[in-house]
Amino acid sequence: MIATDVITCFGHENVLAKHRTTLEITRENFLTKRGDCIICINSDKGALHLSNEVKDILRNEGYGYLVIMKDGFMDMVMGRGSRDLPFSSDIKMIVRKSDFISDGTILIKANKSARDLRRDLIPRLRQGEIKVLLVASQDPLHDDEILRIVVNLFPSFLNSSQLVQDHGS
């Protein structure tokens, strides 16, 4: 079983994406330079607002893939769900390299944090609208399966994309 959720958020001039262990998307409309895990603001969703299908898969120890897209550039973060995820924050969504869980955590044991995102994407995360796709699956997915989902939901993205494949971590 596969479920998806599309998140729309916006860039901010203070996006640094330098945090070593987390990545965050927030519904708040401001960002200071101390928020170095935050990759976008003014999100249309917090963890609470994700679809029930996505939450059910992730609560069943499923696999999660956060695909960040802006100006034809894309990066993907892979992580795991947990039966302990509360999905209760209406303000934020957090992806963690560790297995620590808070009200905003949506993925744990991730292969990337904000600091690990491709660096040519970061300046693009400082302005304009950003699309983030969350794919949840009971079984692990291959990169080509995730790309197929991206293309099906955002057909125009493929025309201008610069994809990165990183199997590290």
Give the chain's radius of gyration (CA, Å).
14
Taking the C-alpha atoms of residue 44 and residue 130, their distance in angstroms, rounded to an integer, is 11
Q: What CATH superfamily is the domain 2-140?
A: mth639 domain like (2.60.120.630)
Structure tokens at 69: 């897209």
143: amino acid identity, one letter = D
Nearest CA to 65 among 144, 9, 161?
144
Q: How many CB atoms lie within 10 A of CB 102?
A: 14
Average pLDDT over residues 129-142: 97
Task: State the pLDDT at residue 154.
Answer: 83
Q: For the chain, which residues make up each domain, given as ranges?
A: 2-140
Q: What are phi and psi of 23, to 5 degrees?
A: -140, 135
Tens-place pLDDT, residues 24-71? 999 999 999 999 999 999 999 999 999 999 999 999 999 999 999 999
Tens-place pLDDT, residues 70-120? 998 999 999 999 999 999 999 999 999 999 999 999 999 999 999 999 999
Taking the C-alpha atoms of residue 26 and residue 40, their distance in angstroms, rounded to an integer, is 7
End-to-end CA distance of the chain: 25
Task: State the pLDDT at residue 155.
Answer: 81
Structure tokens at 148: 């197929």
Q: Looking up tokens 């494949």, which residue turns up?
A: 165
Single pTM value for the model: 0.91
Cβ atoms of 79 and 100 closer than 8 Å: no
What are the CA-CA distances from residue 156 to residues 11, 69, 152 (Å)? 21, 12, 9
Q: Looking up tokens 């989902």, which residue turns up?
A: 149
62: amino acid identity, one letter = G
